[in-house]
Structure 1
Amino acid sequence: MKFHFQHFLKALLLGMFTLFFANLHITGDITKYVNPKYDYMSKMAAIFFFVLLLIQVTRIWQEKHARHACSHKCNHDHGDSQWSLRRIVSYSIVAFPIVTGFMIPPATLDSSIAANKGFLLTQDSNEGRGGEERTSLLEGAKSLVEKENIDIYSSEHIPLPNENYLSEEEYDGKLQLLQKSESIHMTEDMFSTYYAEINDNPKSYIGKKIKMSGFVFKEEGLASNQLVISRFLITHCIADASIIGFLTEIKGADTIQEDTWVEIEGVIEVGNYNGSDLPLLKATSLNMVEEPSEPYIYPVLKLLGK
């Protein structure tokens, strides 16, 4: 029997990838990388890596005569090829993401990412921190929260942390509740839809009470009594994360640090920022709260029955 170190190394890498994906699902950290709607894809990846691992393990120890003789110049690896700089670089590239995945714990997106993703209120895309180009998320509120039709009987009907799978009847009922109620609660399941509706028709909601939670984000140019109560909207994965939230006025806003999670109650008014009308929350109370276990917001998924 001959031990093939390179086959062992490949098996080790496959085992680490399998363990990494399995650990994300066991701990629930998978939601810090992708919309839970797609977690079945990472489960499939874990199964795929595990199958490859089982195949690779059988190649680590082989009879010496088991290796066939190539009468021609072959390109496949027998597991005992000579080490070269090119081979070392190849293994390093494969190992890097899994090593960093284990060494660097997943972190929640915060205001520093929000500043790089794009300003929430800035209308001039050529101005802002660092002078980089940024687009207004206020103008694109509707496009951020398009409903997606999901067959209720399909394999994609997987419960999400914020339970934002809604039947058409449930969705329409909650939207009507927003329009008729004098008190609005920005719950996670309808947060993105309510946000888009209020931004699209701010004058229709003047005087209504509102309750919401989020993290504090501050833009350059805000007054000392202003801040933005924000959430990250995840459509597919954190790579497409967008910050959404409301400009809020409250006494002592300048003493509240960015990334602090707060819960506020207030009244909706219409303000003007950089020449555009937008919802302005006049906070009547503000309380510091712990960051929720599921800090992200996901688009509403509308279920289709038979």
Structure 2
Amino acid sequence: MIRLYILAGFAFMFLQLHLNGNLNKYINTRYAYLSISAIVLLGILFIFEFLRLYLKERRETDNEHEHMHDNEHHHNVHSHGHDHSHGESSKLKRLLGYVILIFPILTGIFLPVQTLDSSFVNAKGFSFPGIDTSADNPGYHQFLKPDTSVFYGKEGYEQVSHTEMSQFSSRQEINLTDKDYLKGLEAVYNFPNEFMGKTIGFNGFIYKGKQVDEKHYFVFRFGFIHCVADSGVFGMLVEFPKDIDLKDDEWVHVTGTLTSEFYQPFKQTIPVLKVSQWNNIDTPSDPYVYRTF
């Protein structure tokens, strides 16, 4: 019976994520069909488990009427001869297994889903993927630059990256929307010379980080390549036209010209957006962005 409740619990948890609109905080929304498939599969398993238990109970009821009382008594006496320690150990293992399965259900249903913000960047530390990541570690939480190279072979990624670069480099003014934010940023970081001097605009939240001065802030979006395992915080170092006082997690739209400069904390030259226009905006209904392929 406990297994029946566990199946129902997982199905309800996935269904709740869909109905509450929180699924996008765990996976790229283009893979939403996987969770829908899981709900259907769990529903089918629930029905089979329910029928199995129902038929089992019916058989046991029929057997009680058919068997003699003394046969039942003999069976009970015989069963008392088993090793009690073995039975208790088996029950303990089964109980532990149930606890492990029930825990994610309870946390998924009752704990609030936390929207990531600048505190996540502070907690995880800040680094540049070109230095700290490797192609055999796709589970690494990425920062600043989106990197999908781990999902392609070397030649495959080279071909894909050039194709995607050409989609953006032909534009003199590049407005990165939610849909192409990660793809556009990856093209800029892979081929910065192709974009120098071009006008780029995008939305994001402020993160002070290790500032050079009061004119430089990071502007970020949290994003998913596939799921939360390869999620990250992506954006650019932005130079504002004058000293301003911006707070972490303020949302802004920035437009400016792409330049580059040596950033001491990373000990390397990185793309920098030199802002010509900016304004505060409301926090988007969905603050995350997702990689399109």
Q: TM-score, normalised by structure 2?
A: 0.71
Q: Does 1:98 align with 2:105?
A: yes
Q: 1:238 to 1:139 in 2, by over 3 A?
A: closer
CA distance in structure 2 between the partners assigned to 1:120 and 1:228 by the alignment: 13
Deviations 1:235-287 (A, max 9, x none): 2211211222100122455x322222221122222211134222111223332
Shift of the 119–111 alpha-carbon distance from structure 1 to 2, 3 Å rule, reads same
Give, in whole Å, the separation in 1 of the partners of 2:147 and 2:226. 17
Q: 2:11 aligns with which of 8, 18, 22?
A: 18
- 45-54 or 113-122, larger mean C-alpha shift: 113-122
Aligned to 1:195: 185
Query: For 1:144 and 1:44, how far apart are their aligned partners in 2?
Result: 26
Contact 1:203 1:270 in 2 (8 A): no
Alignment RMSD (CA, Å): 3.7
Q: 1:145, 1:299 within 8 Å by CA — same for their partners in 2?
A: no
1:72-83 to structure 2, matched below 5 A, reads none
- Please identify, of 218-227 and 35-44, the stretch whose mean Cα deviation from structure 2 is larger: 218-227
Does residue 44 of structure 1 match 2:37?
A: yes
Q: How does 1:64-79 map to 2 (within 5 A)?
A: 64-65=60-61
Between the aligned partners of 2:249 and 2:62, the Cα distance in structure 1 is 60
Cα separation, partners in 2 of 1:299 and 1:33, compared to 1, 3 Å: same
- The residue aligned with 1:290 is 282
Aligned residues: 255
2:47 maps to 54
Give a deviation string over 1:101-158, Cα, whole Å, max 9, x none. Answer: 1112222222233345552549876xxxxxxxx99856874737979xxxxxxxxxxx
Match of 2:21 in 1: 28
Kindly indicate whether residue 278 of structure 2 is the aligned counterpart of residue 300 of structure 1: no
| 1:18 positional shift | 1.0
Cα displacement (A) at 1:53? 1.6
Correspondent of 1:143 among 127, 145, 149: 149
TM-superposed CA distance for 1:185, in Å, is 0.5
Matching residue's letter, 1:286: W
Residue ranges of structure 2 left out of the alignment (5+ in a row): 65-71, 80-86, 133-139, 154-159
| Rg (Cα) greater in structure | 2
Aligned twin of 2:232: 242
Instruction: Give, as a single letter, the amino acid of the residue that structure 1 aligns with 2:215.
Output: N
Letter of the 1:24 counterpart: L
Quick one: percent identity of the two aligned structures? Answer: 27
| Unmatched segments (≥5 aa) in structure 1 | 1-6, 74-80, 126-133, 148-167, 302-306
Q: Separation in 1 of the partners of 2:203 and 2:27? A: 22
CA distance in 2: counterparts of 1:278 and 1:216, whole angstroms: 18
SS, match of residue 211 in structure 1: strand
Query: Structure 1 segments of 4 or more deviating over 6 A?
Result: 67-73, 144-147
* C-alpha spacing 1:66/1:227, structure 2 compared with 1 (3 Å): farther
Deviation at 1:30, TM superposition (A): 1.4
Contact 2:208 2:248 (8 Å CA) reproduced: yes
CA 1:270–1:14 in structure 2 vs 1: closer, same or farther (change >3 Å)? Answer: same
* AA matched with 1:103: F
Higher helix proportion (structure 1 or 2): 2
| C-alpha distance in structure 1 between counterparts of 2:148 and 2:268, whole Å | 16
Structure 2 counterpart of 1:200, one-letter code: N
Q: Is the 8 A contact 1:235 1:241 kept in 2?
A: yes
Deviations 1:170-210 (A, max 9, x none): x96x8546323332111223222321222233344333222
